[in-house]
Structure 1
Amino acid sequence: MGSTGAATTVALAAGIAGSVQIALLGLLGQRVGELETAAFAFVLTAVAGIVILLVMRQSVAGLGSALREPAWLWLGGLAGVFVVTAIIVTGPRIGIVATSALLIAGQLVAATVIDRFGWFGVERVPIGWERVVGLGLLVAGALLTLRR
């Protein structure tokens, strides 16, 4: 399998893991509290990340390198805090499908704007009518998942 095939497989697996994450963290949040679950998830993620870093790189020196980068780049990590906390709160209230659909719709609309304007140093990608129609259908579909 080439690098595109491997990347596709990893992205698909991450999507599956995301749905499982919404279900499990939502349930844990109902049992022990939403904020407690979020904090637990972040601690567990940090420990797992450090273990992976130590196994793969035999060092945590890269953490110091990240600290020397501009602080605005750290917003990516804080965005993860928001996403995880949001799924813990919303999953049990609106369901796994609606939570996933709205998260993906929001992500793709924001990604389109980021691509269009080349924000954060990404290459500019024009927005054609096909993309606008696709996003409109995606958002409409996501909103339809709210109906039970």
Structure 2
Amino acid sequence: WQVDNKYTLLGGVIGAFITITVIQSMGALGPAKAAMLIVISQLAVAYVIELAGLFGVDKEPFEWRKILGLLIAIFGIIIFKWQK
């Protein structure tokens, strides 16, 4: 029962948290808006993991174009949600 990387044990807890938040966001926002928000959240967290070099991932330098891409996607959600 030896585990080399203790952080890998968090996978189940993180997965359960993600499942709960996805279920709640589908009910609150609807499937399309929730799916867009989920994907953007995953991209943002993945970029932070790359920047910090967490979980054994190679540390990457900061790039403005990636932040710009996330902002464009967020702006798309705002446009999608915008109603008269």
**What range is the shorter-chain TM-score in?**
0.7 to 0.9
Relative to the length of structure 2, the TM-score reads: 0.80
Query: Is there any run of 5+ residues in structure 2 with no aligned partner, and where?
Result: none
Q: Is the 8 A contact 1:105 1:142 kept in 2?
A: no
Q: Corresponding residue for 1:49?
A: none
Query: Is there any run of 5+ residues in structure 1 with no aligned partner, and where?
Result: 1-66
Shift of 1:83: 1.2
**Structure with the largest fraction of helix:** 1
Q: Corresponding residue for 1:94?
A: 29
1:130 equivalent in alignment to 2:69: no
Relative to the length of structure 1, the TM-score reads: 0.49
Q: Corresponding residue for 1:142?
A: 77
Aligned pairs (5 A) from 1:1-148: 67-69=1-3, 70-147=5-82
SS of alignment partner, residue 126 of structure 1 = coil
SS of alignment partner, residue 50 of structure 2 = helix
In 2, the alpha carbon distance for the partners of 1:83 and 1:142 equals: 20
% identical aligned pairs: 27
Amino acid in the other structure paired with 1:93: A
Shift of 1:71: 4.1
Q: Is the 8 A contact 2:53 2:59 kept in 1?
A: yes
Q: Is the 8 A contact 2:7 2:55 kept in 1?
A: no
In 2, the alpha carbon distance for the partners of 1:142 and 1:104 equals: 11
Larger radius of gyration: 1
Alpha carbons of structure 1 residues 118 and 82: separation in structure 2 relative to 1, 3 Å: same
Q: Corresponding residue for 1:60?
A: none
Aligned length: 82
Shift of 1:99: 0.8
